[in-house]
Amino acid sequence: MSILEILGKRLIFGVGTLLFVSVLVFIGTEILPGDVAHAILGQGATPELVAQIKERLGLDQPLHVRYFVWLGNFVTGDFGTSLANGADIGTEIGRRASNTIILALCTTVIAVPLSIVLGLAAAVKPGGLVDRIITSTSLALISFPDFLVAVVLVTIFAVKLKWLPAIASIRPSYELVDWIRILILPVLGLTFTILAHMVRMTRSAVLNVLSSPAIEMAILKGVPRRRLLLRHALPNAFGPIINVIALNLAYLISGVVVIETLFNFPGLGRYMVEAVTNRDVPIVQTCAMIFCSVYIILNMTADILSIMANPRVRYKK
């Protein structure tokens, strides 16, 4: 099976998954408790005023009609306007998405190289002191939920030591130093969320390569351990390492929502949580579809990279 055929099948599967997810997102937002008409009018809303608001917002249309209209608008990039204040959703998402991208990129730049270094350090002497420390720390981080890690970081560095701000508010006048101080705690929270999985997979992949006959022959020939790891084991372990990195970056999507909410960071995750509170369905639908699309794309990327790194998977037995 050629690479183009594999890519074509994965692309078709990804598009089908996105369509299925769009149905789930639309139905899920429709069954949320409460509605935007009552949220706009308040507790003193009369049935007549509620009916007028629903007619003006197009909420009186059948469910399937609203779904296809919404999906068509989303595909063409028309995200509509907020039901709560009439603001253009696309403009607000563009502003907030840049903040989320900065947060995710900073986390990736720190977490990926650090996970590879720590994974290699643990694989140098399996069962040694360094390996035991890194492995036990990774297990501890995996067992902690991301919101707990964030709370601990805020308690130590913002409340006790008062070194960093607990609220990641952003202003146009902020300079690079201000951005760094604001991003340190959210980036650390996200880094600890995904670091442990990547460290353990890097260690496992390198040790698996080290047990292969070719590496064992190199060991018998007296190749130094450091050269063996960097020039022989690590390049051959890149396939599963890249796969787990892509999967953890996809998992980073859910962590962004939690971290942005805890630190009041003005990104897409916080925007969606605010929309859920206000029963602003178009914003919730748009943000959910963006997160799901990124998650599916990253998973497809991990799948394709895994296949390309292991040519044996391309051929049927």
Q: Which residue has the higher pLDDT, 55 or 76?
A: 76
Kindly tell me if the per-residue pLDDT of 123 is higher than 80: yes
pLDDT of residue 30: 77
Q: Which residue has the higher pLDDT, 52 or 198?
A: 198
pLDDT of residue 132: 92
pTM of the predicted protein model: 0.81
Domains of the chain are 3-75 (no CATH), 89-314 (1.10.3720.10)
Mean pLDDT along residues 54-74 = 81
Mean pLDDT along residues 35-53 = 68
- The confidence band for 186, taking pLDDT boundaries of 50, 70 and 90, is very high
Q: Which of 204, 3, 52, 179 is nearest to 103 (CA)?
A: 179
- The confidence band for 114, taking pLDDT boundaries of 50, 70 and 90, is very high
